[in-house]
Structure 1
Amino acid sequence: MSKTVSIIVPVYNGALYIAETLDSIYNQSYKNIQLIVVDGASTDNTLEVVKAHKMKPHILISEKDKGMYDALRKGCEQATGDYMCYINSDDRLLPYTLEMVVQKFETEKCDLVFGDVNYINEQGDVIFMYKGVNFGHKAIKEICRVPFAQQSSFWTRDMYLKTGGFDSSLKYVADSKFLLTICLNPSVKKAYIPKPLGEYRLHGASFSVSVTDKMIVEHGRVMQELDLKRSGALWPVYEFYAKLVNVGGIYKKMTYKGTKF
């Protein structure tokens, strides 16, 4: 029997784009999926869109929550898949994503798989691509950040349980803390797929666009909690390499005339 991938979709008033998100899950070439939608008691027609979609959630939770990561924890607690990810209600997966991810998990017996991510605009057009970098735990400790995007990240359910999941006391960067905790563990095996696996939509109401300053403050708190500090001589070298790999995307980002982030 093929492995199951649990996909958690947290949403609040996401009627505008969630059909596209569900389309991207429905259109996966890999079909053994457990879809969990966690709605924070939306006041728009999000629930109607979800219930009418051909990709029916296996689990649908709709109730007030304490924020996105509280919603994610609720969804993850219901997840039974071998592998897990979450996708926000305005983002998308590529049609081949899960097939490639499961194959990578199975052939390399790893704990975490990640790839590249496309940044898309309101209409769903690709603006630029951000490439993930498969740094080791020492390099990640130097640069104090995850060198790949959450939208292209997948992990085993065992790894989720071992790390304790998402810290719901954080409102903006619990995903960064979760992924950093995994990546800083020397025993964790990561694998990189050099293709876009997820697509992150830039628009004025998107979560990370609207709270950038607050995210920076919380990231500082996470650095303290994980005892991270850019004190080594090598961190500029690692940062230069990560930027060199992404020089084309950085240029397109800098010259993009739409929503900034």
Structure 2
Amino acid sequence: MSVAPAISVVTAARNMERFAAETIRSVIAQKQAGDEYLFIDGASTDATLAIARGFGQAIDVLVSEPDAGQYHAIAKGMARARGEILCWINADDVLMPWTFAVVREIFARFPEIDWIIGTPAYLSASGQLTRIQSKLPAYPRRFIANGWYRRALGGYLQQESMFWRRRLWERTGGLDLRWRLAADFELWTRFAEHAELVAVDVPLAAFRERPGEQRSSAQAADYDAEVEAICRQKPAPPLPWRWLARRGVVARSLCRGLISCHGAALVHDRGRGGWRKLARRRSLARVGWGRLADEWLAARGVS
């Protein structure tokens, strides 16, 4: 195993006083020597900056100034990051307490891996862990590069649980700031041209669901429109998939469960300890049929 790499985490925030402290604590609680946390505040008019300042030197870089939006702030933070492993987390999401240890071990043990994603997990607005999508899927490079991991097809990828090597960021040039809302989606399409996205069999972060408040819900239609613009010059998915994708959530879930590809995943070996990389055919589904049925019934108030 090679030397454990240093990790740099960037948070971009503006007027996030309700959640910023929880996000910050989730990062700084697990930092080791060489790791760094960069907090880029977009000239907040609430208490966000004061909250961040309250953590003192636990935040390695703290900047507060007007910017051109979230991705501009993230790019600004990444330009100052020095770690070998990079990620960003929004100021209402959280890292899991074990994340740095898992990420560090994986990247040290598997030098050929450049990009990983944890099991998707979700928080309520009040901070309760509400669900974990525990099925290990395939993340085919071609599908990501073609933009097929969008809402009606493979489903969007969970950004806050991704970590990647600096060399991948530098090779692709980082975020394309021409895209105001979907620069993350566009970045994944370029990442996939150079690296496989490898699934990790534990949650690494949790996305806080705040329906109607956050950009992912309040501006969902605008985000989807940018995604469509990004994908306009890319290969279209097979016609049967496109046809079923227009038939609603059940049909989309059926497609994800039936489409299978060769994919790698990292699973912890409980007998010998440590992570093992396993490659086999897997479906695109991140949720099993039983869990889908439970979520469908819960959404309709069936007990």
Q: TM-score range by the shorter chain?
A: 0.7 to 0.9
The verdict on how the C-alpha distance between 1:44 and 1:256 changes in structure 2, with shifts beyond 3 A counting, is: farther
CA contact (8 A) 1:104 1:113 kept: no
Percent of pairs with identical residues:
24
The verdict on how the C-alpha distance between 1:143 and 1:214 changes in structure 2, with shifts beyond 3 A counting, is: closer
TM-aligned CA deviation for residue 231 of structure 1: 2.8
CA distance in 2, matches of 1:10, 1:93: 15
1:124 matches 2:115: no
CA distance in 2, matches of 1:239, 1:143: 15
CA contact (8 A) 1:37 1:57 kept: yes
Q: Using the TM superposition, name which of 166-175 and 21-30 deviates more.
A: 21-30
CA distance in 2, matches of 1:3, 1:130: 28
CA distance in 2, matches of 1:209, 1:111: 30
Counterpart in the other structure of 1:155 = 164
TM-aligned CA deviation for residue 55 of structure 1: 6.6
The verdict on how the C-alpha distance between 1:252 and 1:16 changes in structure 2, with shifts beyond 3 A counting, is: farther
Aligned length: 254
> What code does the residue aligned with 1:78 have?
R
Q: Using the TM superposition, name which of 39-48 and 49-58 deviates more.
A: 49-58
Structure 2 counterpart SS, 1:154: strand
The verdict on how the C-alpha distance between 1:124 and 1:244 changes in structure 2, with shifts beyond 3 A counting, is: closer
Structure 2 counterpart SS, 1:208: helix
> What code does the residue aligned with 1:173 have?
A
Match of 1:239 among 240, 250, 256: 256
| 1:22-33 mapped onto 2 (5 Å cutoff) | 22-28=24-30, 32-33=34-35
Match of 1:201 among 205, 208, 228: 208
Structure 1 counterpart SS, 2:82: coil
> What code does the residue aligned with 2:158 have?
A
Match of 1:173 among 168, 182, 189: 182
1:67-99 CA deviation, whole Å, 9 max, x = no partner?
A: 110111101100110000000000000010111
Length-normalised TM-score, structure 2:
0.76
| 1:3-152 mapped onto 2 (5 Å cutoff) | 3-28=5-30, 32-53=34-55, 56-109=58-111, 110-131=113-134, 133-140=137-144, 144-145=148-149, 148-152=157-161
CA distance in 2, matches of 1:35, 1:92: 13
The verdict on how the C-alpha distance between 1:243 and 1:136 changes in structure 2, with shifts beyond 3 A counting, is: closer
> What code does the residue aligned with 1:103 have?
E
> What code does the residue aligned with 1:135 have?
Y
TM-aligned CA deviation for residue 31 of structure 1: 5.7
Counterpart in the other structure of 1:218 = 226
CA contact (8 A) 2:144 2:188 kept: no
1:158-204 CA deviation, whole Å, 9 max, x = no partner?
A: 11111111111111111111122112x2x524432111111000114
Structure 1 counterpart SS, 2:171: helix
CA contact (8 A) 2:139 2:198 kept: no
CA contact (8 A) 1:29 1:96 kept: no
Structure 2 counterpart SS, 1:127: strand
CA contact (8 A) 1:29 1:99 kept: no
> What code does the residue aligned with 2:236 have?
K
